[in-house]
Structure 1
């Protein structure tokens, strides 16, 4: 199996999905900092950008959680 195929398989694994959730959550820290700075400077445009970015993060995590549930369902033998 080539390294590229292994990498593609890792992305679809439970470990890869947990890693994706972690990196997405790490991005949330940056968005929180951006929102705090925008609020302190009364910069509406940056605040809107932070809110939109936060919505994208929430959506991304929801998709990853759904993928985890799907991976978990594959492990169970349905009788």
Structure 2
């Protein structure tokens, strides 16, 4: 169990989280396409907000990935 807790803070765990977050973009794209076809403004706004959340999440995960990379460098 302890090993699983550390996985999310590992480089591999961060890549998995980035992939899962990016995979969510597919659903948002489908939602936006359907909203445009149906001229549903409210669903289109929802898709835009969801897309913004995905971009923000990816940016946070990228920052975490860079931080993990900085910790790996041996300063001497």
Scaled to the shorter chain, the TM-score interval is over 0.9
Counterpart in the other structure of 1:66: 63
Counterpart in the other structure of 1:42: 39
> By how many angstroms is 1:77 displaced?
1.4
The gaps in structure 1 that reach 5 residues or longer are none
Q: State the alpha-carbon separation in 2 of the partners of residues 69 and 33 from structure 1.
A: 31
The gaps in structure 2 that reach 5 residues or longer are none
Aligned residues: 76
Deviation >4 Å, runs of 4+: none
Query: Could you state the TM-score of these two structures normalised by the residue count of structure 1?
Result: 0.94
Aligned residues: CA RMSD: 0.6
Query: Could you state the TM-score of these two structures normalised by the residue count of structure 2?
Result: 0.97
> By how many angstroms is 1:8 displaced?
1.1
SS at match of 2:33: helix
Counterpart in the other structure of 2:17: 20
